[in-house]
Structure 1
Amino acid sequence: MIYKLLTRDQWAALVRDGVFAGSADDRRDGYIHLSALDQVAGTLAKYFADIDGVVLAEVEPARCGAALRWEPSRGGALFPHLYASLPMDLITRHWWLARGADGAYCLPDDLCA
């Protein structure tokens, strides 16, 4: 599985519209930024630490087809990039993330097992 981090407003728009066309950064770069599970914590810390109300959406990569590409990004690691809008029906699960005692977001327990 791969994951998309969304702000509260982005999640609300996705639920309302049934599709997410991307954040300002996604639109600037021409693709939707996604993360593998082992990349989510770094993405949270780098881009979402100061944002309240973050949703982690799980995406089924096999259903993304040829629009999904794994490309070098932060530190040369391969990240999943979706060269299309993200429709709601590709999302298999989602979680509203909570902050731990240190103020950093925590991943859901069922993803850390």
Structure 2
Amino acid sequence: MHATIYKIAPATLWREAETKGVFEGAPIDHADGFIHFSTRDQAIETARRHFAGQSDLLLVAIDAGQLGEKLVFEPSRGGDLFPHLYAPLPLSAVKWVKDLPLGDGGEHRFPDMEP
């Protein structure tokens, strides 16, 4: 079984990608030159640091094994290895898309995530 990686995306941006058949990234991805992803263990912290208080988000699970050599795990400032995709994301690699709502305390409520 291939590893699953995750993308947190604004719903409107993701829906546009669904009509195109490919996700080309969010503004931060364009600025950095790659699409940012998180592992299962990194996703909650990513939401807290980069999407605090934002509603209308989706959590997208991607089969990392379908992305080939354009997917690179690189160290972040804290030393953790984060998955970065140096190409558009083909939607054929998407396993599922789920809502990522805000809870009463302002933290995102994550859906069940597969390993």
TM-score range, shorter chain: over 0.9
Q: Quick check: 2:61–2:94 contact (8 Å CA) kept in 1?
A: yes
Q: Quick check: 2:55–2:101 contact (8 Å CA) kept in 1?
A: no
Q: Quick check: 2:57–2:99 contact (8 Å CA) kept in 1?
A: yes
SS at match of 2:67: helix
What is the number of equivalent residue pairs in this alignment?
A: 112
Task: Note the alpha carbon deviations across 1:31-90, whole angstroms, 9 max, x for none.
Answer: 100000000001101111132100000000110000000000141100000010011111
Partner of 2:106: 103
Matched residues in 2 for 1:51 and 1:99: separation? 7
8-17 or 51-60: which moved more? 8-17
1:54-73 equivalences in 2 (<5 Å)? 54-73=57-76
TM-score normalised over the length of structure 1:
0.92
57-66 or 19-28: which moved more? 19-28
Amino acid in structure 2 at the alignment position of 1:86 = L
SS at match of 1:16: helix
Matched residues in 2 for 1:112 and 1:2: separation? 10
Matched residues in 1 for 2:26 and 2:35: separation? 8
Matched residues in 2 for 1:26 and 1:4: separation? 11
Gaps of 5+ in 1: none
SS at match of 1:71: strand
Partner of 1:3: 6
**Residues 1:46 and 2:49 aligned together:** yes
Amino acid in structure 1 at the alignment position of 2:64 = P
Gaps of 5+ in 2: none
Deviation at 1:112, TM superposition (A): 7.7
